[in-house]
């Protein structure tokens, strides 16, 4: 090995996920306090379909398995139906510290009564903040709408309920003229009642951009840093809620973390309104790349697919991290690289990180390297090469099969076994 070889083991350790190493002391400080919250039982449910009690409980149990040691701090729920309220009772009965069960409500006294009756001490409260919502949805002035929010927030504080204000549509809001003054008023109420409020920043239409060069209102770094600088809130009081309309949910969430919002609000598989939310399983990988794996269980992530497909949800085979094709190759050049060293075409060892092996599927473009890799993986051979006459014969058979039948799909493992077993036996 040459002294000039660069493998960047500090960034790409292979038996763990790739590391995210900050470029400045400020970003390093911001990343020390990050955590995840979940909204699968709220935004996920309203974005896909209504969950049964049993399904809701299974989702919660999986969230506990993934992040119950502290990585996933909370999961939010609706309170509007008898089923919702029964789910809350069951989830609370588990007694887990994390994820804490909290509610999501509108800024109305009737909704607040649901929180009180459910015995919850924390809630998300929808406080839409852009003029699009204030003028078109409510038909009122900023002062009138914000006044109504503050009345309900104060009532919640009187009952000892912590409020996280959800500043809906923040990437189209007047940050200096509406968002900052509202946050300051909520902070004053919090001081009065001895309760520290928190603030969610929903990029409701996925319009945010993750770059520090982008100004308000679209720049996520600009939003986070402006709010912190002008209101004095801590990063633990700030949460980012990404939507994926323009495919930037993960990038925007990482940007929010880096620039000072501690909490990432996500859903399993990113299910949610329209194009969905920030996927929790992807953020879990990046969380581990930042903080390590001491309080998160990445080996539970593949079970997300099993659970949701048992509920009728179809997960794209090419979905990152947990999709069936995420660590599967079909290309001959990739298979050849994997034969020589798995690090050539794998970002990390999926068996070590996720408990999920990498694999190969055979197509006319797979070549002899993929056949060798398949035989090694499924039959246990360790000393076979691409020059083996049996491998070349199998390759010709596969080429002829595709040519004769016009087949388009990869061969199944059963079909491959039928062909290969004529020449090789399981070791």
pLDDT in tens, 264-296: 999 999 999 999 999 999 999 999 999 988 899
Residue the block writes with tokens 């009081």: 237
Per-residue 3-state assignment (H helix, E strand, C coil) for 354-417: HCCCCEECECCCCHHHHHHHHHHHHHCCCCCCCCCHHHHHHHHHHHHHHHHHCCCCCECHHHHH
pLDDT in tens, 27-53: 999 999 999 999 999 999 999 999 999
Residue the block writes with tokens 């510290």: 97
Task: Let me know how long the chain is.
Answer: 427
Distance CA 79, CA 282 (A): 28
* pLDDT given at position 378: 87
Cβ neighbours of residue 246 closer than 8 Å, sequence gap 6 or more:
206, 207
Residue 426 confidence (pLDDT) above 80? no
Distance CA 33, CA 5 (A): 35
Local structure of 180: helix, strand or coil: helix
Residue 1 confidence (pLDDT) above 60? no
* pLDDT given at position 277: 98
Q: Identify the bridge partners of residue 126 per DSSP, sorted by sequence position.
A: 106, 166
* pLDDT given at position 380: 87
pLDDT in tens, 340-395: 999 999 999 999 999 999 999 999 888 999 999 999 988 989 889 999 999 999 99
With contact defined as beta carbons under 8 Å apart, do 74 and 37 qualify? Answer: yes
CATH of domain 25-310: 3.20.20.70
Q: Which string of b and e fits 392-410 if b means at least 16 CB within 10 Å?
A: eebbeebeeebeeeeeeeb
pLDDT in tens, 299-350: 999 999 999 999 999 999 999 999 999 999 988 889 889 989 999 999 999 9
Q: Name the phi and psi angles at 126, rounded to 5.
A: -70, 115
pLDDT in tens, 396-413: 999 999 999 999 999 999
Quote the tokens at residue 216.
Answer: 């308000």
CA dihedral sign of residues 182, 191, 147, 243: positive
Domain ranges in the chain?
25-310, 328-420
Q: What percent of the chain has pLDDT over 90?
A: 92
């Amino acid at each position: 090995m040459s002294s000039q070889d660069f493998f960047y083991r500090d960034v790409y350790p292979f038996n763990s996920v790739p590391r995210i190493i900050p470029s400045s002391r400020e970003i390093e400080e911001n990343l020390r306090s990050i955590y995840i919250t979940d909204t699968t039982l709220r935004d996920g449910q309203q974005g896909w379909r209504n969950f049964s009690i049993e399904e809701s409980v299974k989702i919660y149990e999986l969230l506990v398995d993934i992040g119950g040691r502290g990585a996933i701090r909370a999961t939010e729920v609706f309170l509007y139906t008898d089923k919702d309220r029964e789910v809350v009772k069951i989830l609370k009965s588990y007694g887990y510290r994390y994820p804490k069960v909290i509610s999501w409500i509108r800024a109305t006294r009737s909704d607040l009564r649901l929180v009180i009756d459910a015995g919850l001490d924390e809630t998300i409260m929808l406080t839409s903040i852009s003029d699009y919502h204030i003028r078109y949805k409510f038909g009122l002035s900023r002062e009138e709408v914000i006044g109504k929010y503050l009345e309900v927030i104060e009532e919640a504080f009187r009952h000892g309920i912590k409020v996280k204000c959800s500043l809906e549509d923040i990437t189209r809001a007047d940050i200096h003229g509406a968002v900052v003054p509202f946050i300051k008023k909520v902070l004053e109420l919090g001081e009065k009642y001895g309760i520290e409020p928190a603030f969610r920043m929903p990029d409701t239409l996925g319009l945010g951009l993750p770059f520090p060069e982008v100004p308000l209102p679209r720049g996520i770094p600009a939003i986070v840093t402006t709010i912190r600088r002008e209101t004095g809130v801590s990063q633990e009081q700030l949460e980012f809620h990404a939507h994926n309309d323009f495919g930037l949910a993960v990038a925007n969430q990482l940007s929010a973390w880096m620039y000072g919002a501690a909490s990432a609000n996500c859903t399993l598989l990113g299910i949610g309104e329209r194009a969905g939310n920030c996927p929790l399983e992807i953020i879990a990988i990046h969380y581990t790349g930042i903080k390590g794996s001491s309080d998160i269980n990445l080996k539970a992530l593949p079970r997300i697919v099993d659970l949701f497909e048992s509920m009728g949800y179809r997960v794209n085979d090419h979905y990152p991290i947990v999709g069936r094709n995420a660590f599967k190759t079909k290309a001959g050049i990739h298979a050849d690289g994997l034969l020589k060293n798995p690090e050539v075409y794998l970002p990390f060892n999926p068996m070590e990180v996720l408990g999920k092996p990498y694999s190969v599927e055979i197509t006319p473009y797979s070549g002899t390297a993929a056949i060798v890799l398949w035989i090694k993986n499924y039959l246990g051979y360790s000393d076979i090469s691409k020059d083996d006459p049996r491998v070349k014969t199998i390759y010709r058979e596969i080429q002829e099969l595709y040519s004769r039948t016009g087949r388009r799909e990869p061969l199944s493992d059963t079909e491959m076994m039928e062909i290969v077993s004529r020449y090789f036996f399981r070791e």
